[in-house]
Structure 1
Amino acid sequence: MYIYNVTTNIDESVENEWLQWMKEIHIPDMLATKKFTNAKICRVLVEEEMGGVTYSVQFTTVNKETLERYYTEDAERLRTDALQRFTNKFVAFRTELEIISEH
């Protein structure tokens, strides 16, 4: 299993709008690709020097191949929506995590 993690620092002026969009639009759209089995939104408990509020959104997928298919088939379209809605109001970076063990 893999986790596709997107860490986003969002400007406080649009934080509530962004959270609502994540819950009601973006995460359902991501899950609708059928490439992810579930998603979690976590608030990162650090105070950023640049301001804003930081969140980690984690999408679980079954294997690396499925994640690669997401990149080629869906990523650009789904990322464009965020860029258009929240222009200059966020920074994000993505990481891939391999689940080694769950207890």
Structure 2
Amino acid sequence: MYIYNLTSVVSIEVQKQWLDWLKNEYALSIKNKGQIDEIRVFKILNLEKEHTYAIHHQTSSPQNLMSFIQEDIPKIQAECFRKFSDKVLMFGTELKEIEL
């Protein structure tokens, strides 16, 4: 399993609007493209200042993951900046699941 973790630090000022955008626009757009098998969203609990989320984009294909990172992530970040300016900071990490 390959995962692209997109960490999002969200200002309290735009948290509700950002969550609405994430659920109603972002997730639907990603699912409709078919490169990502599953999206999971986690709220990071041990950070007190801002609201921080980890968005996991899972796929079994490394090619789909690379295509997603190269083609879709820049568009996602630009759209997020257009809607929320500097109230949301996003950065990504590529992960591969290791069997234990």
**TM-score, with structure 1 as normaliser:** 0.87
Q: Which deviations, in whole Å up to 9, do the C-alpha atoms of 1:61-91 show, x marking residues without a partner?
A: 1122111112333232222211100101021
Name the structure with the higher helix share. 2
2:79 pairs with 61, 77, 81, which one? 81
The residue that corresponds to 1:33 in the other structure is 33
Residue 31 (structure 1) shift: 1.5
2:58 pairs with 60, 67, 70, which one? 60
The residue that corresponds to 1:99 in the other structure is 97
- Structure 2: gaps (5+ residues): none
Query: Structure 1: which 4+ aligned runs deviate by more than 3 Å?
Result: none
How do 1:11-22 and structure 2 match up within 5 A?
Answer: 11-22=11-22
Cα RMSD, aligned residues only: 1.5
User: Which whole-Å CA distance do the structure 1 matches of 2:47 and 2:72 have between them?
Assistant: 32
- Structure 1: gaps (5+ residues): none
User: Which whole-Å CA distance do the structure 2 matches of 1:39 and 1:64 have between them?
Assistant: 16
User: Which whole-Å CA distance do the structure 2 matches of 1:2 and 1:41 have between them?
Assistant: 16
Q: Which deviations, in whole Å up to 9, do the C-alpha atoms of 1:40-74 show, x marking residues without a partner?
A: 111001124xx211000111011221111123332
Q: How many residues align?
A: 100
Identity in percent? 26
Q: Which deviations, in whole Å up to 9, do the C-alpha atoms of 1:8-60 show, x marking residues without a partner?
A: 11000110110111011101111222110111111001124xx2110001110
**TM-score, with structure 2 as normaliser:** 0.89
